[in-house]
Amino acid sequence: MRRITIPIGPQHPLLKEPVSFLLDVEGEQVLDSVLRLGYVHRGIERLAQERSYVQIVHLVERVCGICSHVHTTTYCKAVESLMGLEVPERGVYLRALLCELERIHSHMLWLGVLAMNMGFDTVFMYAWRDREIVLDMMEDLSGGRVSHAVNIIGGVRIDLDEEQRKDMLARLAQLEQQVHRAKDVVEHERSLRARTEGIGILTPEQAKQYCVVGPVARASGLDMDLRRDMPHLPYSELDFEVITHDAGDVWARTLVRVLETVESVRLCRQILENLPDGPVSVRAKRRAPEGEAVTRTEAPRGEVIYYVRGDGSESPARLKIRTPTLTTLITLPEQLRNVAVADVSVVLSGVDLCIACADR
Amino acid sequence: MTARRDSAVDLPHYDASAIEQQVVPALQEAFPDDIEDVRAMPVDETVVMVSVAGLREIVGHLVEVLNVPHLSTITGQEVDGGVDLLYHFWHGSGLTLRVLLPLDALEIATVTDIIPGAAFYEREIVEMLGVTFVGHQDPLRLFLPDDWDGPPPLRKERS
């Protein structure tokens, strides 16, 4: 059979963000693929060199439209360690609360996208309906559904009163019910399993070689989670399980993410129940001294790493960002090899791509 | 769902104290001539300054002998006297290998045959800083437009 090359993208038929794939196919089989990024490259790293430390908080919030809070958290942690600031415990807990709410939001959004791309609209609608609970919680907490602008250098700008705290606990209970329902669907629904099992396989060896992170790595048997492995507050005081699976296919990724959502609900509850008293932030200086720092955070898609170098002025000399999607994108040619053309959409959804993050 | 299969693959076990207590001393012992300096960097990072010629071998030793396979990313930046490359590894805590390339010889051996996951990081540095990775199989444009003909965007502007 003749081998032909099909270009998909950059205006993508199934992703909302621009990325280009060249699929080399023979009949219904994908033999190879080449990908090209950069269609939403905004030059954020270069821009940061021209902005002040305070302005950059808002800049990095726009790296990602889903896990915006994780980016500001990672950035603020780096700058705080340069400036020698210690964030009060209550501030640290509130940061983590939003990180976990964001993880729930991200995983439920993703479940909807996966379901929609495999033609399972019922799950898509349920997942996105239930995601509204967590979006409402984040809106009440911060005023924004996706861009929260909660982090400031030195802590957070929000606080909870007792009534809000109780209200959030009640809504978490409602959310937990819905998450368990999604988990049942993923575990038992035959059509979902038929579309996802044995597809887009990444073996543990490949996951290790490609330095994959997050749920994709955990679904391929790599037992890594920065919340547990780099024990900082508040995670060092909280009880949660790191979910791993060894199948390495799209179904394993689905299961890992859904079970992680259950764990995140548990984490939110523990944070709300053990919220320390006190201030939520400390005052920060405008300038950071000469020095450098590296921070890593477990985002919904895995390890985010920031490198910041200060030169004593009001702007950093270098800000480097690596988002988790960049580590999973590179594995796509492996995952797409010998997959049927009809399953390409499932494989692409399965890794949870965030192209704008990868481009920066 | 935490069951783990005993597979043939030697999966790494991440440990927050391993870098400082085992990995760095092992590297210092194996490469006394190529390791120039070791110091700490916030948060949880150990920085090891290595020679340009020794980097590839050290990375190989790190991945294949010491089983520290996870390269988080490579940071490139122009500093006084050259382009600084930071290979950020992670194994429960951070390990950064740092090399300084002089401006008149922006060349270093690729590590993509040891760590296939480094391919995009190297390609980004090729585009943004104009460094050549000798032996990289696929140094094509990844982020910049095809018709970009300006200087590498993260290099300092000179008049």
Q: What digits encode the pLDDT tens for the residues B82-136?
A: 999 999 999 988 999 999 999 889 999 999 999 999 999 999 999 899 899 998 8
Q: Is residue B8 part of a domain?
A: no
Per-residue pLDDT, B4: 45
Per-residue pLDDT, B146: 83
| Domain range for B32 | 18-106
Dump pLDDT digits (tens) for A107-125.
999 999 999 888 889 999 9
Asked if pLDDT for residue B158 goes beyond 80, the answer is no
Which residue, among A346, A353, A360, A332, has the nearest Cα to A23 in the 3D structure?
Answer: A332
Q: Is B77's CB within 8 Å of A205's CB?
A: no
CATH number at residue B77: 3.30.460.80
Q: Where exactly are the structural domains of chain A?
A: 41-359
Which residue, among B87, B60, B63, has the nearest Cα to B74 in the 3D structure?
Answer: B87
Q: Which residues of B touch A329 (CB under 8 A)?
A: 120
Q: Is residue B83 part of a domain?
A: yes
Q: Is residue B62 part of a domain?
A: yes
pLDDT band at B35 (very low <50, low <70, confident <90, very high): confident
Q: Is A204's CB within 8 Å of B1's CB?
A: no
Question: Average pLDDT for residues A184-206, to the nearest whole number?
Answer: 89
pTM of structure: 0.91
Q: What's the gap in Å between the CA of A120 and the closest CA on chain B?
A: 25
Per-residue pLDDT, B8: 57
A302-310 and A291-299 strand pairing: antiparallel
Q: What's the gap in Å between the CA of A152 and the closest CA on chain B?
A: 18
Q: What's the gap in Å between the CA of A243 and the closest CA on chain B?
A: 6
For every residue of B33-101, DSSP letters joined together read TTEEEEEEETTTEEEEEE-TTTHHHHHHIIIIIS----EEEEEEEEETTEEEEEEEEESSSEEEEEEEE
- A41-359 has which fold? Cytochrome-c3 Hydrogenase; chain B (1.10.645)
Dump pLDDT digits (tens) for A5-60.
988 878 877 777 888 888 899 988 898 888 888 888 898 999 999 899 999 999 99
Asked if pLDDT for residue A4 goes beyond 80, the answer is yes
How many domains, chain B? 1
Tokens matching residue B117: 């996951």
Q: Is residue B88 part of a domain?
A: yes
Q: Is B75's CB within 8 Å of A307's CB?
A: yes
Nearest chain B residue to A329 by CA: give it. Answer: B120
Asked if pLDDT for residue B1 goes beyond 60, the answer is no
A36 with A358: CB under 8 angstroms?
A: no
* Percent with pLDDT over 90 in chain A: 60
Dump pLDDT digits (tens) for A304-353.
999 999 998 999 999 999 999 988 888 988 888 888 888 888 898 888 88
Q: Is residue B39 part of a domain?
A: yes
Asked if pLDDT for residue B159 goes beyond 60, the answer is no
A219 with A253: CB under 8 angstroms?
A: yes
